[in-house]
Structure 1
């Protein structure tokens, strides 16, 4: 059963913020209709957000988010000292492989992209961007982290996830998922074999202290045309080496 926010006004207020975050600008009626609010309620919410500095109106009368959201995001991200420690390694890995490198943090049953170093020669549009989320069950980074979970944690994550076949390669059978995690533990890295986005393969590894469930992971992503099985194994070697270097740098804060 879907949980409801116990404070309805907060649910509506942040619903407007999230709606505006997906668009350059929106009119009052568009917002009200999309969020199933009456016009006066939507107007009160927008007026409140304007007063607090989160929203402004354009000359055309449409509503847009201000940079205050970005300022808040920057303050939160500044607390993640781990990003500053990891980024040089991400850059080095991108230079070494010529492919896009991601760094994620676990948030429940999803991973959030908290840093990304884009390849200079990308020939395919990656769906990832900093702040976007990806399910654990169908991503390289997610499976790399899940391989460090206890059996109970894995079962709970699977049960609470909305398991969907996003591509023909997405694993949707729990026993197959368990087998995949066992292989990851043995080999030391995970693979996203076009399971989340067709045309893209990833090699990933967790960043965790011994005996702890991983909260972070990194990956190398590339078009399938540049990542056949032979190159995948080579990139996996680079991944494991980089993972070990990063762990040396961040171990005190894990």
Structure 2
């Protein structure tokens, strides 16, 4: 659906605001003067969450939190039960591992692709970053739909931390149930998510307007240099995007108008 073979999901993390708990100096994360629990999540191509880690991680940095979550730890240790590598296409017979896509806050790994850093990038790297951001918009939209529809997530949750975790997990379970069964799309109509129409004009989803005062804050993970194999894999994927994996809309990259995924935008 998003023109990235071997991609098994998009990953992101958010801080969920909660009321100041007891023992807050040591047990819960104080993020820019508000207390929070951390939600790390993965979604599929249809805005359904497929993996979630949630909890409190004390005074750890965001990067430390990512390594401490069960999902983040398994991803970094390459112990997730992913399928064995397969070729990206018939033209490229060499196997390529299955992977997740994330933004620049996440580390580059064999099973986690992130954008190329920098501003003055080659054409190939710009295409790669665009294709990656286009695919990872599903997790941003998934969080947006979740927050817009389950409005307790737009406020500071006034419960003890254990119940806060249960509330967030319940919202995610209900979100998934409806997304998988709402064939009339009243929960998530077509204009509710980001979309591209006509001459590469990007329309922001309606959820963005409804979550302007969103209490879910982004995570800022500390990036460590990835292994050389991960750099080589990213180069292979970038070359795939401009060769046999090319799609027509990427040829007009500079004509994309508006929205958070236009060139120079935050994603």
Q: Given the two structures, how large is their TM-score scaled by the length of structure 2?
A: 0.26
Considering only CA atoms, is the larger Rg found in Structure 1 or Structure 2? 1
Q: Given the two structures, how large is their TM-score scaled by the length of structure 1?
A: 0.27
Q: Which has the higher contact order (CA 8 A, sep 6+)?
A: 2
Q: Which protein has the bigger helix share? A: 1
